[in-house]
């Protein structure tokens, strides 16, 4: 289980739908897995965990690339995290 802490610093409740949040596990340039985290609601000025289940066989050093889309044509935030599974 991979957990990602997200924060809503605005004053509007955000709904993180599955198609807006993607998690990709990479080893080098190769994509190992695409994870689909569960949708969740994030209230204004709160933080919460987004969970995604990884059931693959790959172990060791890996990079998790997380992308959060604000919506069609509104931009995307991308972060990379180095993990050891």
Please state the pTM of the whole predicted model.
Answer: 0.83
Segments making up each domain of the chain, as ranges: 2-84
Q: How confident is the prediction along the chain (85 residues), in pLDDT tens digits per residue?
A: 899 999 999 999 998 888 889 999 999 999 999 998 988 999 999 999 999 999 999 999 999 999 998 878 889 999 999 999 9
* pLDDT for residue 74: 86
**CB neighbour list of residue 25: distance below 8 Å, 6 or more residues apart:** 31, 32, 33, 34, 35, 54, 56, 58, 62, 63, 64, 65
* pLDDT for residue 57: 92
* pLDDT for residue 19: 86
* pLDDT for residue 73: 83
């Amino acid at each position: 289980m991979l957990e990602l802490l997200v924060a809503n610093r605005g004053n509007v409740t955000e709904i993180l739908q599955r198609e807006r949040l993607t998690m990709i596990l990479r080893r080098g340039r190769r994509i190992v897995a695409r994870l689909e985290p569960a949708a969740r609601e994030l209230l204004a000025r709160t933080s919460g965990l987004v969970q995604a289940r990884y059931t693959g066989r790959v172990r060791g050093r890996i990079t998790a690339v997380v992308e959060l889309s604000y919506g069609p044509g509104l931009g995307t935030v991308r972060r990379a995290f180095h993990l050891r599974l």
